[in-house]
Every structure is written in C-alpha cells, then in structure tokens.
Structure 1
Amino acid sequence: MKAATFAVVLALSALPSAAAAMTVQEFLTTADGIPRNPTALLRSDTRRLMNEMKAAFKTIRDEQAAARAAGRRPATCVPDKVSVNTGEILGRFSSIPPQRRGISVTQAVREWMAEAHPCPA
C-alpha cells in the first residue's frame, strides 16, 4: 500500500504545476515573447494567458456570488459582460510596481475590478 501511495505522489510531483497561480511578472514575461500579429492566436502561450484571465474572472465572479449568497457586500460588482483588450491588460499589469508583480494574476484582476466596478455601499 505504501508503494502505491508513493507512486501516486511521485507521478503527481512530475506533473507541471498547472494549479500554481501565475504571477503578474510571469504573465508579462510570457506576453512579451508573443508577437503582436494575427499568428499570436495560434500560439500555446497566448491561449495560456487567455485561460489565465478567464480563470481570474471566473474566480472573481464566484467570490462575488458567494458573498451575495452569504448576505455580504461583495468586494466587486463586476457586470456579466466585461470587455478588456490586450492593451488594457498589459497596461494595467505593467503599471503595477515591480516589487508587487509577484502577486497572482487573479489578485491583480481582483484589485482592478474592485477599482473599476466597486459595489455601492
């Protein structure tokens, strides 16, 4: 039984850390390596960054819904449809001071949306 448990732990440790949160610095570094042309959409790095943003917005919407369900005021009141483009994302993330770029993309988006879409008091 111990050998089977060890094998599972060993196999899981060999997987890439997809569950690890991407930092703003990692996001910016990856984005910097993507060409700004139509072929960018074909790159796996582009899809990875897009998925990171989708996951961040999903997390924020889930937190917002959970707070409302619990009778609390949510930290954000993000509407159902939010349109942000690449320039806005990169501009916002680049404006984060270098010493704070270790925060997760989700935290950066959370702070951005709290500022852009605050809930009324």
Structure 2
Amino acid sequence: MAGRTANANACACLDHCSCPLQVKVQFLVFWTILHAIIGILALFLYPFHFQEEFKWPLLIVLVVHLISGIMMFISLIYQERHMFIFGLISSCIMPVFYVYLVYLPIVQIVFTIAGCRFYKLGMHDSL
C-alpha cells in the first residue's frame, strides 16, 4: 500500500509548480492547436523536396493533431472527461512524426503528464 501512495505522489510536484494544472492544460491546448496550424501552413507554403513523398501522411497527422486540440478545448468548456483524455492521447501522435524537432516531444511529454494529472485529480474539481 505504501508503494501505491509513493507512485501516486511521484508527479505531484507538477501540480502547482509555477502555475496550477488548469493553466498547464490550457497551455497544452493552445500549444497543440497552434503547432497543428503552423505545421499545416508550413507543409503547403514551404514545401521541402524530402517532404513531397510524405506530404499527405503528414497532413493527416497534422489534421489529427488539430482535431485533438479542438477536442481538448471543447472538453474544457463542457467538462467532458472522456473527450479530454481521447484528445490528450491523440495529441501525442504528431510529436513522434516530428521527433527531429527535439523541443516538441519534450514539451509534449511534460504537458501530457500534467494533463493526465489534471484528468486523474478530477477535471470537475479543477474548473
């Protein structure tokens, strides 16, 4: 039982570090939507020759990323837990494809942990 308590508090330091969990989740939603829009625009405005063969799969991944950000945004407004966790999980797909942008997976991991804590501690209590 003591091990379970230690695991539950392993990421508790993220709860109020620099700002509340709700603000971190709002940043994650903004971050997700903004990166999806920038990625879609860059895909069509600045085409690189190595991206031509991956253009449509990348577009699909970016659209999924945009939809996941919109889902998280809607879930925060209407306090829909299931939509939030689905959006949170699907938002992790795009950083895998853009792993060469080192900051993207790192920031995604940190804020996904914060989003999971927000989900676990009860979205209704936090809002």
Larger radius of gyration: 1
Q: Provide TM-score, normalisation by structure 1.
A: 0.34
Q: Provide TM-score, normalisation by structure 2.
A: 0.33
